[in-house]
Amino acid sequence: MDALTGEHKGTPATGRMTSLDVFRGITIAGMILVNNPGTWDAIYSPLEHSKWDGWTPTDLVFPFFLFIVGVSITLALARRAESGGSRRDLYLKIVRRTALIFAIGLLLSDFPYNDPATFRIPGVLQRIAVCYLFASVIFLNTTWRTQAVIVATLLLAYWAILVLVPAPGFAAGDLSMAGSIASYVDRGVFGRHTWKPLYDPEGILSTTGALATTLCGVLTGHFLRTRREPLEK
């Protein structure tokens, strides 16, 4: 029994959700402020990404986008299913959108300046595409309770891999740029096709946390569709 036919029943979403649009607008404004500070010679520290570990307010912008994607998945796919759309059409739409977002990400990252020998394969839009694909498939085939279990499993698995699995030549739990198992996997899979020689911020293992963030948005979308008063939501 999946998310569209399970015991969780909510009122069909109609039109756009103003609160989600406002949140999306604020997030985009934050992205513009971070990416276009006016001058790169004098930047307020909260508007810079953390160099490696830790975080700044800037580091919340991308997770906010992923969360918004998750909420939108629940609202949009549930609405299409309730209007009589077939599963085949839904999956085709998901695959087409995934491919388009991923291709645009590659184009923006690598064309026309980067050397084919070193062009970057992972990226922001590429990660959004991957998270959208997996979160959509999970939403269509599981209940919200299963989705919550998947979130917890992803986070626990990512934590366990980071602290228990050593990269060759380094100790288990080494979270440095060079010694992190996540960095090692990216170097092994992508070779020179990463953002930095030692790692990529949108790498393979770290995408598990990004998918968990997207699924948190999916779960929030379930809550927003319940029969509750707006102030309760």
Better-predicted residue by pLDDT, 47 or 141: 141
**Burial code of 157-187, b = ≥16 C-beta within 10 A, e = fewer?**
ebeeebeeeebeebeeebeeeebbbbbbbbb
Whole-Å CA distances, 64 to 61, 129, 131: 5, 15, 13
Domain ranges of the chain: 18-224
pLDDT of residue 169: 95
pLDDT of residue 72: 96
Rounded CA separation 122/193 (Å) = 8
Better-predicted residue by pLDDT, 231 or 202: 202
pLDDT of residue 216: 98
The 10s digit of each residue's pLDDT in 168-183 is 999 999 999 999 999 9
Examine the pLDDT at 124 and tell me if it is beyond 90: yes
Which token pair is 219? Answer: 């779960």
What percent of the chain lies above the pLDDT cut of 70? 91
Mean pLDDT over the full length of the chain: 89
